[in-house]
Chain A
Amino acid sequence: MIKLTKINKIFADKHQSFHCLKDIDLTINQGEFTVIAGPSGSGKSTLLNIMGMLDKPTSGNYQFDDNDVAKFSSNKLADIRRDKIGFVFQAYNLMPVLTALENTEMIMEFSGVSKKERKQRAIETLEAVGLGEFKNRFPAQLSGGQQQRVAVARAIAAKPLLVIADEPTANLDSQSTESLLDLMVSLNEKLGITFIFSSHDPRVIERAHRVIHLQDGKVMRDEQLENVTAGQPQAAMSS
């Protein structure tokens, strides 16, 4: 699904330049539950942003579903993000003027899902993340953990192929962290949705199937863990 070849990212301004990602080669298959681990500043967010098509690499090749991402226009990229990728950002990032339900529905509306269907899916998803009764609240009326769960609901309601989450548990207490992880693992197992996380939280890392260790912009280690339970993602998707 994702194939990165010799990806480099250099941040440069007038005074200095910073080589953030160095010759990253990486393949991520459908149905994987992968964590990018590494200390702060190692380039995790930068890598996720590139994989999520929010940012462009300085050099290297990015194939998404066998297509060269560099060739896509910004509208095409937006359409791919809308239809295939769900995002969970570190700082919740909900629309403050929309309720939990409306936040969850928003992307589906932009992709043309009918009003009835998107509402039903949004309610189902909010119930799945345990927020059924909070669906008409605005973000400001929800706790941090609840907001992050709305963000997850928003990311998965449209049934994307891939969910990218940048330190989704960084601002959560351990109970919220556990329930969020349970939710993601079950989505991965039931629907075969591919998850790519960044985290340096051991509780997150231990639930992953694959851990990619990043340090100073380089892949230090790429571990396949034993507890691979993703089953048959293709079959799950088509069911």
Chain B
Amino acid sequence: MIHKLALRNLLRNKRRSSLTSVIIVFAFSMMILFMGLSDGGHKAMIDIGVRMGLGHIIVQHDSYSDDPALQHLIAKPEQVIEQITQQYPTLTAVTRLRVDALIQAGRHGVALTISGVQPNKENQVSAIADQKAIIAGQTLPQFSQDQQMQRLGGIVIGETLAKNLEVRIGDTVTITAKPASGADLARSAFMVAGIFKTGLHEIDTFWAEVPLTSLQTLLEVPNSASQIALYSQANPETLAAITQQLTTALSDYDVQPWQTAAPELYSAVTLDAAGMYLLMLIVYVVVAVGILNTVLMSTFRRQKEFGMMIALGSRASTVSKVVLLEAVYLSAFSLSIGLALGLWGHYHFATEGLNFKEVFGTAMEAGGVLLPEKFYSILDTSKLTLSVLFVFLLTIIVTLIPAIRAGHRSPLAATQDA
């Protein structure tokens, strides 16, 4: 009977109930959609971010962060990598040597970062000089395939840098850097093998990659590296656990998660996540206000009815239950539809993806962080379940006071004229 009363009372004012329902459906499905897109976007941002000469986990000499000098390199990086991959065979490890250097071509000279990489390995994890980013010429592995014909080592440089230096594929550039011996400057010539474009200004203008061994020779640091970058397919929780364990295992080294190694990427993601929480808060408020408004309006006109139920012998709790059930039905109905719609939208973006480039043109960089061109919606089921439960609970909480008040109507209300 109380279910019947609650349902029929909802249907009594179809317009009001459906309006509330539509608002909740809209707000809730939007929330789910944004939740999926936001998490998907973040994952894509991180995925692309760690591929910009970074890594999910960076292992360095203990003092390298404070003083990135050639005295603070990892000696025999292969041994360290073996120690890591024995414990975590799923991790991909690459070795890099970084140095600030001068690149010259003709009358142009630019100070930049030279990254010595293992061409075949780096290719698998980096998005700087891989096949997709190369807009002219070859990747380093392709170039070294043809090395027999070349007298010089290959170098890949950014699009803007190539423009600034006025060089083309096949041109020769000179790299000048201070070697470990600290004596005179060391100098070496390279041939421009490829030109890449990442969309990140900093990288496209002040970055070049050469084979690791060439740079080790130039700097007189054989078998040494600035960093070992580790890449993983694991989810964030597992990754954090691995980082934690590695920190203990490699106590002689400095082990940094990408969050520490790339603070600007981390803050871009968290700032964005904060926006998501704000949106969730707004949705919660909309649902709460919508339900409360409906309950208040519908109970306001029924004071006499509540009084009558009590006069006839209903317990206060029975009357309260009727009011609570109305809110529960309205919110359960609206949330189910909102959930269905939201999941449908999520499914679309999870399979088709959202093409950022198509929607927002080509503004690909924001605050030194590369925005992904295309990304796929990802829904965290526990987050979703929690928010459904929370909204539901919220419904009950906001209805509690009007429901209790309805139960405590004086039975005399039944005898008074409406």
Contacts and interface: CB of A to CB of B under 8 A. Distances in A.
A88 to B, nearest CB: 11
A14 to B, nearest CB: 19
A166 B4 contact: no
A102 interface: yes
A160 to B, nearest CB: 10
Contacts of A2: none
B189 interface: no
Interface stretch (B94-102, B121-129, B314-322, B335-343): B314-322
Contacts of A52: 311
Residue from A45, A54, A102, A107 having most chain B Cβ neighbours under 10 A: A54
B313 A107 contact: yes
Residue from B1, B316, B412 having most chain A Cβ neighbours under 10 A: B1
Given A54-B411, A98-B8, A106-B1, A78 B314 contact: yes
Contact of A93 (B308, B313, B315): B308
A78 B305 CA distance: 15
Residue from A78, A90, A98, A105 having most chain B Cβ neighbours under 10 A: A78
Interface string B1-31: 1001100110010000000000000000000
Interface string B273-314: 000000000000000000000000000000011001111111
A82 interface: yes
A93 B9 CA distance: 16
A80 B5 CA distance: 23
A49 B412 contact: yes
Contacts of B309: 95
A111 B313 contact: yes
Interface residues of B, number: 25
B415 A54 contact: yes
Interface residues of A, number: 32
B313 A81 contact: yes
Contact of B5 (A49, A79, A82, A95): A95
B366 interface: no
Contacts of B415: 45, 49, 54, 89-90, 166
B184 interface: no
B418 interface: yes
A105 B1 contact: yes
B313 to A, nearest CB: 2
A79 B314 CA distance: 8
A109 interface: yes
Contact of B414 (A79, A89, A97, A109): A89
B414 A78 contact: no
Contacts of B313: 78-83, 85, 107, 110-111
Interface in A69-125: 74-75, 78-83, 85, 87, 89-91, 93, 95-98, 102, 105-107, 109-111
B417 A107 contact: no
B308 A95 contact: yes
A89 B411 CA distance: 12
Contact of B412 (A55, A75, A79, A80): A55
A111 B315 CA distance: 10
B308 A78 contact: no
A82 B9 CA distance: 23
Nearest to B317: A75
A21 to B, nearest CB: 15
Given A54-B412, A54-B415, A82 B1 contact: no
B312 A75 contact: no
Contact of B314 (A89, A105, A110): A110
A91 B414 CA distance: 9
A98 B5 contact: yes
A87 B9 contact: no
A81 B5 contact: no
B418 A91 contact: yes
A202 to B, nearest CB: 24
Contact of A78 (B1, B5, B310, B418): B310
Contacts of B411: 54, 78, 81
A50 to B, nearest CB: 10
A97 B305 CA distance: 11
A140 to B, nearest CB: 11
B312 A106 contact: yes
Nearest to A105: B1
* 6 nearest A-B pairs in the assembled complex, by CB-CB distance: A82-B313, A97-B8, A81-B313, A54-B411, A109-B1, A93-B308
Given A49-B412, A78-B316, A111-B313, 12 more contacts: A52-B311, A54-B412, A74-B316, A75-B316, A78-B314, A78-B315, A79-B313, A81-B312, A89-B414, A93-B308, A102-B4, A106-B312
